[in-house]
Amino acid sequence: MSEQLGDAKRASNSFVTVSDGTQIFFKDWGTGQPLFFHHGWPLSADDWDAQMMFFLKQGYRVIAHDRRGHGRSTQTDKGHDMDTYAADVAAVVEALDLKNAIHIGHSTGGGEVTRYVARHGKGRVAKAVLISAIPPLFMKTDKNPDGVPKEVVDSIRDGTANHRSQFYKDVTIPFYGFNRPGANVSEGIRENWWRQGMMGSILAHYECVRVLSETEFYDDLAVIDVPVLVMHGEDDQICPFPTTGAVSWKLLKHGTLKSYPGLPHGMPTTHADLINADLLAFIKAS
């Protein structure tokens, strides 16, 4: 990974090329303290539109990337593991020379933030935020007996591999809580999720299901020494709150939990005003 960081170079205003030749797409807007946003599976930097616009207007420098194989980044068959995801982030951070940054991750992106801050963040990271995130462990195991059952994970693999387009339309319903009584269903939000998903590589998305479901973050959480805000909807149907957010914050040295009754996995989009306000308060807090 050190070789990957050392060989990283700024390819253009929109890409960083890492040592294995993969090009990582990024957006970099504004000036001020950097906020680096990490998207969830199987999406892209575009999933942070509501946050990028808000915090740009608040005077922050906002950065978001497309994970390898996702969005506009290279559709490579290599490096689909959490260590490489984190190293790719470190390469972008180094190329942009980001310091005093706040890293904010949603879902799988929360796992990426956790691994990046734990392994690469020393001296560059001020704070971190995990939103609806997968740590400490997504799938049910002996260590995590109340996690998501393997058969559910296998159904995600099957949907991705065999009928991705329809599956990506269907998954938006629980993702945003649109199956709950009284939900205000937005077809635009659903179509934008589908659009982002279909931009990426089916192989990368298939492999990422293994990464997001099987990667353990217990040790990463324990070594992080900066303040971390854990934000989680209590009605999250993708990353169930009792086994993810409710556990993660207790494993952090400087963790704070903010849970939201009735809110879904995709709350940064469905409840952007609320989430942005709480993010801003945490970012500004001394």
Q: Report d(CA 282, CA 286) in Å as an integer.
A: 8
107 is catalytic: yes
| Orientation of helix 202-214 relative to helix 108-120, angle to 10° | 70
Strand segments (E) across 30-155: 34-38, 61-65, 101-106, 125-131
How far is it, in rounded angstroms, from Cα 229 to Cα 73? 28
Q: Is 61 helix (H, G, I), strand (E, B) or coil?
A: strand
CA distance 178 to 33: 35
DSSP annotation of 158: H
Strands 23-29 and 61-65: antiparallel
Determine whether 14 is an active site residue.
Answer: no
Q: Which of 47, 66, 220, 236 is catalytic?
A: 236
CA 144 distance to own-chain centroid: 21
Q: What is the spatial distance between Cα 76 and Cα 145, in angstroms, rounded to a whole number?
A: 34
Q: What angle do CA 206, 211, 212 make, to 5 degrees?
A: 95
CA 46 from chain centre, in angstroms, equals 12
Strand pairing report for 255-260 and 228-233: parallel
Q: Which of 44, 73, 107, 248 is catalytic?
A: 107
**What residues are annotated to the active site?**
107, 236, 265
